Structure formats: C-alpha cells, structure tokens
Amino acid sequence: MIVRRVETDPGYEVVVGRDMLGRAAEVLPPAATSGRIVVISDENVAPLYLPPLRAALRGACSDVTEVVLPAGEEQKTLARAEELYGVLYERRTTRHDTVVALGGGVIGDLAGFVAATYLRGVRLVQVPTTLLAQVDASVGGKVAVDFRSGKNHVGTFYQPLAVLADIDTLRTLPAEERRNGAAEVVKYALLMGEEMLTPVEAALGGPEPAGAHDPVGLCDEQIVAACVGYKASTVAADEREERGERQLLNLGHTIGHAIEAAGGFRHHSHGEAVGLGLAAALWLSQRCTGLGPDDAARGERLLASAGAPGRLDDVDADLVVEMVSRDKKASGGEVPFVLLAALGRPVRGVHVAPELLVEVVAWLRER
Ligand SMILES: NC(=O)c1ccc[n+]([C@@H]2O[C@H](COP(=O)([O-])OP(=O)(O)OC[C@H]3O[C@@H](n4cnc5c(N)ncnc54)[C@H](O)[C@@H]3O)[C@@H](O)[C@H]2O)c1
Ligand SMILES: [Zn+2]
C-alpha cells in the first residue's frame, strides 16, 4: 500500500494498493464512514466490485445504499445529475453523509459533481477502477458533466475526502481501456524523466503494433502511485488551474483534444488522441524547445510500446488545426503549448506558429 498526500485545502490522501476495496473501512478517514453512505457505480463495475466494497463499508457504517447507472460518457449529463439529486433527497442525505464514486472517470466526474453541488457539498470518496481514473481523473478535484457539445462544460473543483485506488480492479478492464490509461502514464513518464521512464519502459516491453498491445504491466502499485504523486504536486501548486503549474498536465492534450473533437469524439478514444498528441508534442519540441533527437526517438518508442496509434486516420487535418485554436484554454487567440526541452524538462506557455501547427498535423497523417 502506498499513500500519496494531495496538499490542497483541505488536503487528502490517495491510497494505492491491492485489496483496497476489502480494506476500505480501515483505510478511509473516519469522517467518510461516520454518516450514511451512498455508493454510485455503473452496470459494468457494480457486479464485480460493489459486493466487496459494500461488505467492507458495512463494517464501519450501518447505512450503506447504492445507485447503479448504465455505463458510458452519455451518462455525464445534468439530467442524470438531477436524478441523483433526487436519490440523495429521498435518502435524506445530509452534509455529514458520503457519496462514494465506484467506477471509471465517468462515474467519478458525475458522482463528484453531484457531491460537490448537492447541499453545496456532501462528503466525497473516489474509488477509481480504471487505469485512467486512478492515474488522472480521481485526483485533483475536477468534477463535471457534459453540456450540449461541450465536454466537461459544467463543473467545479471539489476535492474528495480520500481516494482509494485498488490495483486489483484493473485486471478486469478491457485491454482498450488499459491502453487509454497507458497514454496518460506515458505522459507522466515524459514529464518526469528518468525516474519514471525506466520503470515504464520496463513495464511495457518493446514496441508493439498499434492497437494490439495490452499494457497490463502498467497496472502496478509503484507506477500508479508515481503518477498520482506527480499529479498531486502539480495540483497542490495550482489547485484551481490559475497559476499555471497544472497546465503541465496538458502535455499532448492540446492537439489530443483537438483530434478527439474533430472526430466528433467517435473516431479516436481519449487515449488514442493523447497518444497522437504526445507524438505531435515530441515533434514540435524538437523544433520549438530544443528537444534532442535521441530523446524524441525514446519518447516515440515509448508511445509505440504503449500501443498508441501510428498515425492520424479518418479525421480532417484542417478541422484538427481549427479545433486547436478553438481550444477552451486558448487565451487572446494564442494557444499556449506544453512542450519538452528534454525528457523530464517540460516548458509551458510555448507559442507555436500556425504554419508549424499545420505541418505537425500533416506529419501525423502521413508518418
Ligand atoms: N476529472 C478529471 O480530472 C478527469 C481527467 C481525465 C478524464 N476525466 C473524465 O473521465 C472520463 C473517462 O474515464 P474512463 O476512461 O475511466 O472511462 P469510463 O468511466 O467510461 O470507464 C471505461 C469503461 O470501463 C468500464 N469499467 C470501469 N472499471 C472497470 C473495471 N475495473 N473492470 C471492467 N470494466 C470497468 C466502465 O463501465 C466503462 O464501460 C471522461 O468523462 C473524462 O472526461 C476526468
Ligand atoms: Zn487525458
């Protein structure tokens, strides 16, 4: 079991380990189990992990109930949030009670948003069950639902009371979901440098054909905890994304988000889009921030080993370029990029000339 503290206000612990569900009652802070508990989960996760979690929580709390929703991003709506407010209302939930989000990032974001807003905030515990949610979504306090065409358009910052990341749950994930999370792990390795590159390279093995690899080696306590540690430190430095440190986490995401959006969120999963976005960031870093060719090649090898797509298919290149400039993080018409001066040495706020953007997207299509 590895504990990483997130020094926000208030701070909290992320506990990463095996059999965390079974040990929930002993590991969670007393405040999490002192009131009533409503567990929110989805139809894929609940049959597998609700029984052991429920049994453990009942050891500390006599009133544990649950809500099981269908799975998928379509659930992240205000309508679903309103339904959940209804459940909390019926169950007479108070601010001393706890919402437990058991599932991937969708459940974490939705249940987190509901917990943040119901009665101006009830207690929240995140129990992430996907690699992506363990290394990224469950830590940092961003909670949201989608609105019209805007992903995560309505939301807030709301730190949980605790995060319980049970590595054992990652075994039942479909391989494509592990690949999704793998792209984020590669992002952390590029940001952190040698200390993380070596273990991630060892866990992944050699390059694999795109889309074929199952990066199961990344479902590892040390690796997940290292990612959480990095995210925790950027979040602590910039809790509400105002100062800039948190922007580091956007490495590969400026072009990645644009690829997702240009494909109408159907052609590429988030992980595939981030994999391509990271390849683009390596290419741009060589031209804008002096990344050496050996470092770039090492980063490319890592992406290939994580099963990232080789090239951008099926998505209009012009639309990708347009989407970059529409990026919500754009300020005053300029899109600041996070690039690398070397592996482990990120630089934020880099201006990338429009011609170079067109060129890198063309390269992604042709390489
Ligand atoms: N809040 C943040 O900081 C943040 C960061 C990144 C992503 N996100 C959000 O996270 C969401 C994506 O999260 P995700 O990739 O976890 O997707 P997800 O929650 O949809 O989970 C992916 C699929 O795996 C299933 N699943 C989950 N755990 C499982 C397990 N252990 N075994 C078998 N199946 C399991 C789910 O039912 C679902 O079908 C997006 O909505 C995104 O916006 C939020
Ligand atoms: Zn991401």
Residue nearest ligand 1's atom 12 by CA: 105
Q: 151 an active-site residue?
A: no
**From residue 196, how far is each of 135, 191, 240 by CA, in Å?**
14, 9, 26
Q: Which of 117, 247, 103 lies closest to 163 in space, CA to CA?
A: 103
Instruction: Please confirm, yes or no, whether 18 is among the known catalytic residues.
Output: no
Tokens 């059999």 appear where? 19
- CA-nearest residue, atom 7 of ligand 1: 137
Q: What pLDDT was estimated at residue 149?
A: 86
Question: Which of 4, 178, 253, 268 is an active site residue?
Answer: 253
pLDDT for the residue 144: 98
8 A C-beta contact, residue 53 and residue 127: yes
The average pLDDT across 347-360 equals: 94
Whose CA is closest to atom 6 on ligand 1?
137
Ligand 2 centroid–CA 245 distance in Å is 16
- State the pLDDT at residue 6: 98
Q: Helix 317-326 crosses helix 354-366 at what angle (to 10 degrees)?
A: 140
Nearest-atom index, ligand 1, CA of 109? 1
Ligand nearest to the CA of 234: 1
Task: Report whether pLDDT(84) > 70.
Answer: yes
Q: How many other CB atoms are there within 10 angstroms of residue 120's CB atom? A: 7
Quote the DSSP letter at residue 26: H
Whose tokens are 């951008």? That residue is 312
In the chain, % of residues over pLDDT 90: 89
Would residue 268 show up in a list of annotated catalytic residues for this protein? Answer: no
Residue 208 C-beta-side C-alpha neighbours within 13 Å: 14
Catalytic-role residue among 13, 246, 268, 272: 246
- The answer to whether the beta carbons of residues 7 and 15 sit under 8 Å apart is no
CA distance 125 to 112: 8
If you take atom 18 of ligand 1, which residue's CA is the nearest one? 104
Q: Which of the listed residues 8, 41, 43, 44 should we mutate to test ligand 1's pocket, taking the one with most ligand atoms within 8 A of CB? A: 44
Percent of the chain with pLDDT over 70: 97
Catalytic one among 36, 178, 187, 257?
A: 257
* Annotated catalytic residue 257: yes
Q: How close is the Cα of 271 to the center of ligand 2, in Å? A: 7
Which one of the listed residues 120, 148, 242, 355 is annotated catalytic?
Answer: 120
Confidence of residue 330 (pLDDT cuts 50, 70, 90): low
Could you tell me the sign of the dihedral formed by the alpha carbons of 194, 199, 202, 207, in that order?
A: negative
- Higher pLDDT: 345 or 327? It is 345
Q: Which of 109, 110, 265 to mutate to test the pocket of ligand 1 (most atoms within 8 A of CB)?
A: 109
Torsion of CA 41, 42, 43, 44, to 10 degrees: -100
Burial (Cβ within 10 Å: 0-12, 13-18, ≥19) of residue 332: exposed
Band of the pLDDT at 184, cuts 50, 70, 90?
very high
CA dihedral sign of residues 89, 94, 98, 101: positive
Does the CB atom of residue 76 touch ligand 1 within 6 A?
yes
Distance 257 CA to ligand 2 centre (A): 8
